[in-house]
Structure 1
Amino acid sequence: MRILFITGGSPATVFALAPLASAARLAGHRVLVASPEDMTPYVTGTGLPAVSVTDATMRRFMFEDRAGRPLGIPADPQERIRFNGEGFGRLAAATLPALRALCADWGPELVVGGSLCYAAPLFAHELGVPWVRHTWDLGEPPEMDAGAASELAAELAAAGLDALPVPRLWVDICPPGLRAPELAPGPRQSMRFVPYNLRRPMEPWMLRPAGRPRVCVTAGSRVAGQDEVAELTELARTVEGLDGELVVAAPQELAAQLGRAVPGVRAGWFALDSLLATCDLIVHHGGGQTAMTALHAGVPQLLVPTIPKMLPPCRRIADRGAGLVLPEGDRSTTAIAAAAAELLADPAYRARAAEVAAEIAAQPGPARVVAELEALAGEANGRPAR
């Protein structure tokens, strides 16, 4: 069976789909991953075949309209969520021509798209093949879909649709106990979250406990601009005052700069699942893959979300007792340091995080979910799918 996976415009959207795509490939299926050009190195870095479907970046789709005019971020948090959905709608519209051209040489029998990959339902509808929607993390707010549908009104009308199609199946990597109370329509198949990342050689210190609390600070895999670097540096300095060992996970090219700004810190590109095995706390921006990796490791989290859509999933983690969340307006250095100290001192947070890790481990693995994809495609084709 030929399966097309479609990612978004950030490394996290690649890593989220890699376990299922890899399992399908190992099961003997022909797998291809379509992504923006700047994401193809992340796809190939996971060992999967990649094809570029646009040379534009996610930043451009988010902050420019289709005519290239700049767009401002809405001040209202709910409008900001819809605004984000519109950006993903523009990404979908830009990738459809390349996907259609690809089909001339490589027609998929099944399309798997990430949570906000709106090209997937449109392209699958055109081909008449099943579409599977794959969550990236703890879920996305429904207003994202509304924003994308608005942006894609012309494409939906051209396809004879008055709304985004409902997927034949959701593959959901969010542990059931942390899912939003209201889920988007479509049947769900739980799948165990498996951390994926680009790798660099392990160092001996990563394999052993530090002898004192080890705290990881990160702002995700795409920290680049000076403002983002300054925010990460300030966060690291705040946590540095704790009686522990500080590790800053960031792009490798920033390691030297972070080392000068926070003397003695270990900084660079660390695969989080390997690093967190010996960490006692992670302080981060609320990114979905980062949060899921920490949950998988059973490590308490101090969540400092930077985008409104991240706040509800972060609050669910805090409500479960596996971490604390600091909303905007309550992020002074004193508040961050106090919250981090509380998480390190109270073993209940580690216990609750371990409960979530056990819940993740109990979910069906990617290989079992591949069998569900085979059944879905076989039903559509009227024959066994191999």
Structure 2
Amino acid sequence: MRMLFLAGGSPATVFALVPLATAARNGGHEVLVAATADMAGVITAAGLPAASVTPLAMRDFMLAGRDGSPLSLPDDPGERMRFGGRGFGRLAAGSLPALRELGRGWRPDVVVGGALAFGAALLAGELKVPYVRHAWDMGEPLAMELGAADELAPELARSGLTELPAADLWIDICPPSVADPAAPSGLTMRFVPCGLQRELEPWMYTRGERRRVCVTAGSRVSKEYEFDHLDALVGKVSGPDVEVLVAAPEEAAAALRERHPGVRAGWLPLDTVLHTCDLLLHAGGGQTALTAVRAGVPQMVVPNMPKLWGPNRRLADHGVARLPQAGEDGPGDVARVCREMLATPSYARRAAELAAELAALPGPAEVLPAVEALARG
């Protein structure tokens, strides 16, 4: 069979699809993974064939209208989520011409689209093949889907639709006890981290004598973007009783190593390193959060986007994470909460229980037959 996977415009949207796409390829199927052109290298680094559906980057669709006019992020959190959804709607509309050409030339038997890759639903409908919707992380707010539907109204109308097409199968990757209660019913697959790797050094997979805290502000941090906040966090969390690891791009990491001697900073293979850590301090990204869940590591989360509060609040309610209280998201306050968590055994215990729940879920090869059955039908 031929299976077309459609990601988005960031590495995380590719990484989420890699386990199932790899299982399909290992199972003898023909697989293509489509995304924005700047994601082609991420796809091929995972050992999968890549197809570009637009030369534009995700940022271009988020910050500009269809006519190229600049757009500004709204201040209201709810409207900002709808704004993000409209950006993914513009990505779908801008990708449709290339997707149609790909569909005509390659003729997939099934289309698997990431959670906000709405072009997958539209293409599958036009080709009259099954559509599988695949979660990217712990869930996306309904407001983003509503924003995408608003943006895609012209495309939907041309197809005789008044709303976004429903998937024939929904695949979640979030453990049920912390899943979004509003998520569609379907199959839950074990999350498998697939971040970019590097050659391992012994300290990456062995524990030291001190407790370890891993700090990350995401893959986009730079000397011009969020560096001062990350620098302050590292300074506050560090201490004689704590070893700090910082996952960051090399430009920011080099500056942090200079400012904080003894701190290990760089591009870290989190799926390995987190198994040696006692706490993860991060900005709320869904793939990062699930990687920590898999490793059984408690999390201190300071979300940097409104849409990230909901999923991480579920982790906090489950007892494996903390979120900052209003007015307490400064570096000093965050460092204090981190030390409280290190001193409270219940966080590690609950994190280990959640890791066991995730590990017991069916893996990609076990979920693949459901996709095969759809394609055969």
TM range (shorter): over 0.9
Aligned counterparts, 1:349-368, within 5 A: 349-368=347-366
Q: Which amino acid aligns with 2:202?
A: P
Match of 1:111 in 2: 111
Partner residue of 2:141? Answer: 141
Instruction: Report the TM-score, using the length of structure 1 for normalisation.
Output: 0.95
Bigger Cα displacement from structure 2, 78-87 vs 65-74: 65-74
Q: How does 1:110-189 map to 2 (within 5 A)?
A: 110-183=110-183, 185=184, 187-189=185-187
Whether the 8 Å contact between 1:305 and 1:327 is mirrored in structure 2 is no
Deviations 1:224-252 (A, max 9, x none): 46122232222222212472111110123
Is the CA contact (8 Å cut-off) linking 1:34 and 1:53 kept in structure 2?
yes
Instruction: Tell which deviates more after alignment, 243-252 or 348-357.
Output: 243-252
For 1:192, the equivalent position in structure 2 comes to: 190
Structure 1: tracts of 5 or more residues without a match: 380-386
- Which digits, 9 at most, give the CA deviation of each residue in 1:362-381, with x for residues without a partner? 111100111110111112xx
RMSD across aligned C-alpha pairs, in angstroms? 1.3
Matches within 5 A, 1:250-265: 250-265=248-263
Residue 282 of structure 1 deviates from its aligned partner by 0.5
Q: Which residue of 2 aligns with 1:35?
A: 35
- Partners in 2 of 1:9 and 1:230 — Cα distance? 26
Give, in angstroms, the shift of residue 345 of structure 1. Answer: 0.8
For residues 92 and 211 of structure 2, what CA distance do their matches in structure 1 show? Answer: 44
Equivalent residues in 2 for 1:55-94 (5 A)? 55-94=55-94
CA distance, structure 2, for counterparts of residue 212 and residue 377 of structure 1: 52
Q: Distance in 2 between matches of 1:357 and 1:347?
A: 16
Counterpart residue type for residue 277 of structure 1: H
Matched, 1:214 2:219: no
Give secondary structure in 2 for the equivalent of 1:372.
helix
Answer yes or no: is the 8 Å Cα contact 2:34–2:52 preserved in 1.
yes
* 1:350 positional shift: 0.4
Closer, same or farther: CA 160–359 of 1 in aligned 2, 3 Å: same
> Aligned in 2, Cα 1:104/1:181: closer, same or farther, shift over 3 Å?
closer
Are the aligned partners of 1:11 and 1:221 in contact in 2 as well (CA < 8 Å)?
no
TM-score normalised over the length of structure 2: 0.97
2-structure distance, mates of 1:239, 1:367 = 41
Q: Distance in 1 between matches of 2:198 and 2:225?
A: 26
* Distance 1:27-1:319 versus aligned 2 partners, 3 A rule: same
**SS in structure 2 at match of 1:206:** helix
Distance 2:326 2:64 in 1: 26
> Contact 2:213–2:244 (CA<8 Å) still a contact in 1?
yes
Query: Structure 2 CA distance, aligned partners of 1:309 and 1:327?
Result: 17
Matched, 1:44 2:38: no
Matched residue SS, 1:315: helix
Helix, strand or coil at the partner of 2:191: coil
Q: Which position in structure 2 is the counterpart of 1:384?
A: none
Count of residue pairs the alignment pairs up: 377
Between stretches 325-334 and 286-295, larger displacement belongs to: 325-334
**Deviation of 1:318 (Å):** 0.6
SS in structure 2 at match of 1:373? helix
Q: Deviation at 1:328?
A: 5.7
* Correspondence for 2:323 among 314, 325, 341: 325
Alpha-carbon distance change, 261 to 54 in structure 1, aligned in 2, over 3 angstroms: farther
Q: Judging changes above 3 Å, is the alpha-carbon distance between structure 1 residues 38 and 165 closer, same or farther for their aligned structure 2 residues? A: same
CA distance in 1, matches of 2:211, 2:279: 8
Provide Cα deviations, 1:72-129, integer angstroms capped at 9, x if missing partner. Answer: 1111111111011001111111111111111232111100011100101001111000
